[in-house]
Amino acid sequence: MSETSPAPPLSQGVGYGVVIGLGVAFAIGMVLTTRALKKVFGEDSHTTETFMVANRKVGTGLTASAVISSWTFTSALLGAPYLTYWHGVALPIWWANGQSVMICCFAFLAIQAKLKAPNAHTLLELIRVRYGAAVHILWIAMALINNIFNFTSMLVGASTAVSALTGINVYTCTYLLPLGVVVYTYWGGLRATFLTDYIHTFIIMIVLVWFSLKVIVAAEIGSITALYDLVKSLPQEGTVDGNHAGSYLSMTSNESLFFGIIHIVTNFGIVFMDTGFWQKGFSADIAAAVPGYIIGGNAYFAIPFTFGTVVGLGALALEQTPIWPTYPRRMTQAEVSGGLVLPYTASAVAGKGGAAAILLILFMACTSVASAQLIAVSSIVSFDIYGGYFNKKPTDRELIRWSHVGVVGSALFVSTFATVLHKGGVDLNWLIYMIGIVICPGTFPTCFALLWRKQSRIAAFVSPVAGMAAGFAVWFGTAYKLYGEISITTTGKTLPCMYACLTSMFVPLPVAVSLSYLQPAKFNWDEFLRIERISDTDAAETRFDRNAYFSPERVKYMRRMSRIAAIWAIATFLGQVVLWPLPMYGAKTVMSKGLFVAWVAVGLVWLFITLLVANFYPLVDGGLQQIWEVIAAVKKSRKSAGDESAEVIQVDVQKTS
């Protein structure tokens, strides 16, 4: 049986049209938008406060939408379906709770940061003030590793899928995909990121809802009940390794549980160590930070949960039919681990239109996440490297210049790194499983930096280094012990990655606590107030009034929001991790048809609610009013320009006569 890859459903012209044409269109649109915002609201992306933290006044709706967008990685859109294809119905819930829970936990950190460090632009500024240069340099390295690996994993998956859909060379894709986003991020900063996040997420959510329904009502499936019957009748049903009765329809799935552990641990590291999430927290209005993150985090759950379930199981059902691109053969492991389950399913159920829709949302997700990562890296380059060690008193213009260097430089570096990984045989699956090993060591020390006075400088330095060293030792040692060699294949296996991620995450905890109690620090939180805004005499929002900010009413409000965030974080963890999937894992049953129908139906309703939150809540929460003000200002500007032209013409006529 031939394993030749199927012909791409779309032409290279379509691919270049989307990757380059849409990228340029969005770039032009965002440049014009940022100019309009400057004209109407005085938001100048050439000031640091606007470029880095959007003047700290982003509302709840846009914050929630940005959170959903920040988590809608191409690796999530591609990964949840293909892992469901492998492991069954249990997998999507572990993907979903592995991203929703820590967002709600981060809401607590976000409001604590606003309470203790109201002028901060990046997480690393806090680290420098508290621990000094040595720890700060270590955190710069860990933050860059986080951003670079996140950006790279997204780019590796997206370029593979775009290549499969259009036939464009995969290495060309890795350089072209970030092109447009570099332009609009360069010009618009974080405000442009929020705006493009919203536009991209608006389109992505419409396609996700449409495509989920399209798979279910496809002629070869027809209904949720029929999907259940088709999966039950599969030749390989009953042979899934590690699942109860070998069934795709059992929540008792060892591989899904192991992946869930990896995913939860990894994503705590990704969120807490990603300067992009911290910047969005700093940029949110005080009243918007906690509700924005909680609403966005819980709404996001439906994307991998519903989309992963429907597309992954739908692919299993459709693979047996002539409409499947690889029919009569099943997909190879390389095709599945490369993330091609989603593109193949799109081609099967919706032909070229479906392939084009998936190409569009992959481009949107890729560029949306890329913009956040570019801003995060540029902030490190400008504030923490240039401003920290080369120019202690930088001007606003100098910081913006180095931010631009960071945007362009990081895009080129990550594209090159992704190309190297492609050449080395690394695929999306390997990156998804191993990324936590290099990201997680700083998680607990970062939390302690903001929440625990006693963490000492030596503890902050030694604990993440010990965690990373132990994680790598366990990773390589377990791979060699279990599989007899250390290679790309063995280091991408589930157990070595799970043990290594847990080690990287939890070794720093006792190390930090022990060293801190041996020689405890007594940090004064007021030291964080040494961080200053980069002032601009023309921008009132860059001037900080300490007495007004720390009014008794506002401090009381922020403390109340901290309690609410903590309660929500605990409740979300208990609900989405402890009380829901774990008892079902222990039940050792196969889903009945009725339970499966209810399961998918609830997921579809939840996905529709996510669409409402992502697409329409920002409009209700002040977005429509701002759009109207911009339109009115543009009309007024044109009218004024027209009146002035008329006056000039009249004067000229009078002079001639």
* Rounded-to-integer distance, Cα 347 and Cα 350, Å: 6
Task: Let me know if residue 3 belongs to a domain.
Answer: no
184 and 326 fall within a common domain = yes
Distance of CA 147 to the CA centre of its chain: 10
627 and 494 fall within a common domain = no
Domain ranges, residue 579: 12-615
Span 58-92, pLDDT tens digits = 778 888 888 888 888 888 999 999 999 999 999 99
Which sign, positive or negative, has the C-alpha torsion 268, 270, 275, 280?
A: negative
> Which pLDDT belongs to residue 376?
84
> Which pLDDT belongs to residue 55?
47
629 and 563 fall within a common domain = no
Span 5-19, pLDDT tens digits = 788 999 999 999 988
589 and 625 fall within a common domain = no
270 and 134 fall within a common domain = yes
Task: Let me know if residue 279 belongs to a domain.
Answer: yes
Task: Let me know if residue 497 belongs to a domain.
Answer: yes
Least confident of 111-125, 314-328, 529-543, 589-603: 529-543
**Across 19-25, average pLDDT:** 85
Residue type, 196: T
167 and 88 fall within a common domain = yes
Q: What percent of the chain lies above the pLDDT cut of 70?
A: 87
Task: Let me know if residue 377 belongs to a domain.
Answer: yes
> Which pLDDT belongs to residue 369?
81
Total structural domains within the chain: 2
How many Cβ atoms sit within 10 Å of the Cβ of residue 4? 8
> Which pLDDT belongs to residue 28?
78
558 and 650 fall within a common domain = no
608 and 629 fall within a common domain = no
> Which pLDDT belongs to residue 651?
45
Q: What percent of the chain lies above the pLDDT cut of 90?
A: 57
> Which pLDDT belongs to residue 49?
47
> Which pLDDT belongs to residue 133?
94
637 and 540 fall within a common domain = no
> Which pLDDT belongs to residue 285?
77
Distance of CA 629 to the CA centre of its chain: 31
507 and 637 fall within a common domain = no
Span 175-186, pLDDT tens digits = 998 887 787 677
Per the CB < 8 A criterion, the answer to whether 93 and 582 are in contact is no
How many Cβ atoms sit within 10 Å of the Cβ of residue 570? 14
Span 266-284, pLDDT tens digits = 999 999 998 878 877 777 7
**Across 372-381, average pLDDT:** 85
Which pLDDT band holds residue 489 (cuts at 50, 70, 90)?
very high
506 and 641 fall within a common domain = no
pLDDT at 119 over 60: yes
* Rounded-to-integer distance, Cα 149 and Cα 439, Å: 9
Task: Let me know if residue 5 belongs to a domain.
Answer: no
Task: Let me know if residue 2 belongs to a domain.
Answer: no
Which pLDDT band holds residue 444 (cuts at 50, 70, 90)?
very high
Highest mean pLDDT among 126-135, 235-244, 537-546: 126-135
Task: Let me know if residue 139 belongs to a domain.
Answer: yes
* Rounded-to-integer distance, Cα 486 and Cα 495, Å: 14
Task: Let me know if residue 571 belongs to a domain.
Answer: yes
Which pLDDT band holds residue 44 (cuts at 50, 70, 90)?
very low
Which pLDDT band holds residue 554 (cuts at 50, 70, 90)?
confident
Residues 6+ apart with CB under 8 A from 168: 12, 15, 16, 19, 162, 176
> Which pLDDT belongs to residue 656?
44
72 and 57 fall within a common domain = yes
pLDDT at 50 over 80: no
CATH number, domain at 432? Answer: 1.20.1730.10
Span 321-373, pLDDT tens digits = 999 999 989 999 989 998 899 999 999 999 999 999 999 999 988 887 888 78
Per the CB < 8 A criterion, the answer to whether 307 and 81 are in contact is yes
> Which pLDDT belongs to residue 61?
85
Residues 95, 96, 101, 102, Cα dihedral to 10°: 60
User: Residue 468 burial by CB count (10 A; 0-12/13-18/19+): exposed, middle or buried?
Assistant: buried
